[in-house]
Structure 1
Amino acid sequence: MCDDRSVVASIDSALLSAAQAGDSDAFAAVVDPFQGELHAYCYRMLGSVHDADDAVQETLVRAWRAFDRFEPRGSMRAWLYRIATNRCLSILNGRGRRELPADLERIAGGDTEISWLEPYTDERLGPEQRTVARESIELSFVAAVQRLTGRQRAVLLLREVLGFTAREVADQLDTTVAAVNSALQRARAVLDPGLPTATQQATMRQMGDTAVRDLARRYAQAWEAADVDTIVSMLVEDARYSMPPVPTWFTGRKAICDFLLSGPLTCGWRFVATEANSQLAFGTYRWDSDHAAYRPCGLDVLTLRRDGIAEVVSFLEADFAAHGLPPSLPN
């Protein structure tokens, strides 16, 4: 949780007054400390980086227009989240049904209005937020949140991820504390069955940097050597492999092995390790003879357990530049 009291206390009163008087540079300086966490919140709400971009931009526009009415003795963080929440709910209300990619729909449920998930670059979070937000930005959590109604998502995230009180959330949603508590109970009931248990899933932090680096090295080397036996040996028995937006996925070592041999491993590959959604990820590059270079193919986000790789989600339309990955690799 990020307590904004220390942030607001550090804002010079003259700067705040200038912002409320219409100084756009002063306003930018005042709201800048909150932009990273606001964007992560909108991403969790919407499942889309691009929609989160739009939501944050609109939030800041609306905050700027109303900033002369902000009460300095109040919570700026809560005020900004109120605006951001309203914008996210408007976006969700305006959406038609959009399916989740491949096997992630298993987590999010097939009978709800859910959006295409997109990978999230950790660079959007500041160092402090990366530590606080680690589990709540992982793909399995974000996918599971998409099962909830818009207001249930907001209540769950505002209360349990961001640490607002029930009274603060009630004020943000123009409702009662009783309604907030009821929505939180319903959200927990829907969400809990869809999430892996602590004993099923080991985060990178639990494994340790050395173990993760070793796994990343071995996995990349196996792909680059077309060593299907090593790749498959690193998977858990019930591992899953999907490639959004392609509506196809594979479950279990044999199915994944057959798929890899039928196509992917007939090509040349280079893998560049990175992180996305606070998980181990790889920018994958496939040999392109027309360009005589390895060209971007997908951003593979891995879910790790202590006994191996539990899931690979290969985002075929990921923005490599946004994840700090080069546009191509030489031979």
Structure 2
Amino acid sequence: MPPAPPTVHERPRHDHADLEAHRRELTAHCYRMLGSAVDAEDAVQQTMVRAWRGLDRFDGRASLRTWLYRIATNVCLDELAGAKRRAMPVDVSAAPSEPVVSSLGAPLEESVWLTPAPSARVLPEGDPADVAVAREQVRLAFVAVLQHLPPRQRAVLLLREVLRWSAEEVADLLGTTTASVNSALQRARATIAAREPRPGSPLDALDPAHAELLRAYVAAFEAYDMEALAQLLHAEVVQSMPPYALWLRGPEDVVAWHVGPGGACRGSRLVPVEANGSPALAQYKPDPEQPGVRRFWALHVLRSRDGRVGEITNFLDTRTPAVFGLPEHLED
């Protein structure tokens, strides 16, 4: 016979600190589900509120961690109901754009785009091996591929292959059968396998070659030395600027953009940050109305390819400073 449920006096007693101890890993889970750092923070906050209100009903049949993941997954599935999948500009427009201002068009809604996440909010502390595994699970490329899955398939894949839940546990959470869970997992795996991996790799702070590439990129960009910048770019480099659908291909067009429509970036400063487990750069552009002041403009996320810069994504999201704990402006 199964054991009797714990009595009220036997139930584990938890407080707010016990819930907060799981915030980072829940944020990473919600980020993978939702593709937005802001939405992930909101989902985790909803999870914490629901958990706190229902803590007296938590009977200890499962661990507190498992119970929190159940709540968080359901919050995310509710958020994703009817929502469009988030993407990168190269997924929205099939062909590269001309490096002219008319290519920009109107900015698309924030809800269209995948957005970066601060490493400090989605990576665990502690054992380097655990951190290395977690880093791979929040890479932008991985999260971007996940967005091609329907929400429930996405949940199944993450619960089964990232969190290592059993099929029975996932079926119980989703209110379905183990056969349905296994079928959803097979379809999710097939969809991901059919997606061609993006060329190149994210920067690794521990790789000396990547560190030198990043240093050279900062030096060329801050000096606005387009000849030096072009030397760092892969022949098939791609640059994009969410929330615009525009994306450019090749060093010639990237440089043409910087000396043309993007010329106001001359004199910018780049501040190192960490995004999705990789080095990134916060760009502060000169304020034309306040000499000596530079205001946040974009977050540069780079990928390397054959020893050069293979991809530049400039996230032009005004909420980035708040999300990453950065100042809104810098002064000389």
> What is the correspondence of 1:114-153 to structure 2 with a 5 Å cutoff?
115-124=112-121, 125-128=123-126, 130-153=131-154
- Asked whether the 8 Å contact 1:46–1:115 carries over to 2, the reply is no
1:66 paired residue among 34, 42, 54? 54
> What is the correspondence of 1:13-52 to structure 2 with a 5 Å cutoff?
17-19=12-14, 26=15, 28-52=16-40
Q: Sequence identity of aligned pairs in percent? A: 42
Aligned to 1:234: 232
Distance 2:233 2:283 in 1: 18
> What is the correspondence of 1:1-331 to structure 2 with a 5 Å cutoff?
17-19=12-14, 26=15, 28-95=16-83, 97=84, 100-105=87-92, 115-124=112-121, 125-128=123-126, 130-196=131-197, 200-205=199-204, 208-265=206-263, 267-292=266-291, 293-317=293-317, 318-331=319-332
The structure whose RCO (Cα within 8 Å, separation 6+) is larger is 2
Structure 1 unaligned blocks of 5 or more:
1-13, 20-25, 108-113
Q: Which moved more, 1:61-70 or 1:223-232?
A: 61-70
Q: 1:235: Cα distance to partner?
A: 1.9
User: Is the helix fraction higher in 1 or 2?
Assistant: 1
| TM-score, normalised via structure 1 length | 0.83
Q: Give the aligned residue type for 1:324.
A: G
Aligned to 1:3: none
Q: Give the aligned residue type for 2:304.
A: L
Q: 1:116: Cα distance to partner?
A: 2.1
Distance 2:307 2:10 in 1: 53
Check 1:314–1:233 CA distance in 2 against 1; reply closer, same or farther (3 A cut).
same
Q: Deviations over 1:78-99 (max 9, x none)?
A: 221111111111111143x366
- Asked whether the 8 Å contact 1:268–1:287 carries over to 2, the reply is yes
Q: Give the aligned residue type for 1:126.
A: P
Check 1:234–1:328 CA distance in 2 against 1; reply closer, same or farther (3 A cut).
same
Distance 2:218 2:11 in 1: 50
Check 1:265–1:185 CA distance in 2 against 1; reply closer, same or farther (3 A cut).
same
Distance 2:296 2:87 in 1: 23
Distance 2:85 2:176 in 1: 29
| TM-score, normalised via structure 2 length | 0.82
Q: Which moved more, 1:143-152 or 1:125-134?
A: 125-134
Q: 1:70: Cα distance to partner?
A: 2.0
Q: Which moved more, 1:225-234 or 1:66-75?
A: 66-75
